[in-house]
Amino acid sequence: MSIFVDEKTKVAVQGLTGSQGRFHGLRNRAYGTKVVAGVTPGKGGSEVEGIPVYDTIDEAVAAQGVDATFVAVPPRAAPAAILQAAEAGVPLVVCITEHIPAKDEAYVAAKLQRDFPKTRLIGPNCPGLISPGKCNIGITAGDIALPGGPVGIVSRSGTLTYQALHELSQQGVGQTTCVGIGGDPVPGTTFVDVLEAFEADSETRAVMMIGEIGGEAEELAAEYIKTKMSKPVVAYIAGQTAPTGRKMGHAGAIVSGSKGTAKGKMEALAAAGVIVAENPTRAGELMVEIVRSLP
């Protein structure tokens, strides 16, 4: 199976008439994703290469039965777009927008948790998710993914997400779903959320997890893996040479004193029984070895 999306998922692109929304939305449709609507205020009644555009997400949901939205709008508009989708009852929102202020992300996360617990947000500032051969929402290139499982991938890093997909596919190892949760300080979906879904998925038999410095998400994941995960996990932590106190790439990737270090995360994961790789290429090699040893 896959997690969160499948071949039946109906997707609306919020921002379809913009350059990024159009490019990636049409690319997702070309992959086979059921992109059924676009949303741009003031552009209702138009279309983008046969995809009808609505003024509001409510109208798109009413007309097309939308299951998920792809938010590809500027930072100032993204928080409202996410909440409008939640208010419309959309169960999955994927937001690729970067540079959203942390205070806005915190507000959105808190409001979703309090008022719209049935809506899952993936992102912001993420590549999205892909269930190979079924559905691709976001900016991941579909041709680097391989259908058929048995590996689930979850990553904070977009670039390393692509590398993990490509290296496994090159070795003939398919993926059930690959989820890029994003590297901002307040992600809508955490490592633990995705690990729980992979643990419950009968076709996911092993998991690759890619973390990075900053925060405690990987340590929380280690605790979950230690106490509740039955499937083998291979992990890589980016930022092993990052200097203390300097933000590296993602807004959430900052080490403060002894907190959030790559060393601490790697030790916590190893103590939980995770196979920790020293570099991303080795992580792929280790996962291939595990898959080939599965009964």
Residues 6+ positions from 110 with CB-CB distance below 8 Å:
none
Q: Is 250 a catalytic residue?
A: yes
Other CB atoms within a 10 A radius of the CB of residue 73 amount to: 23
What's the gap between Cα 124 and its chain centre? Answer: 9
Mapped onto helix, strand or coil, the DSSP state of residue 276 is strand
Q: Is residue 214 within 8 Å of 250, Cβ to Cβ?
A: yes
According to DSSP, the β-strands at 47-48 and 51-54 are: antiparallel
Mapped onto helix, strand or coil, the DSSP state of residue 229 is coil
Q: Tokens standing for 118?
A: 């049935």
Q: Which residues pair with 89 in a beta bridge?
A: none
What's the gap between Cα 291 and its chain centre? Answer: 23
Query: Which entry of 24, 99, 166, 250 is annotated as an active-site residue?
Result: 250
| Active-site amino acid positions | 250
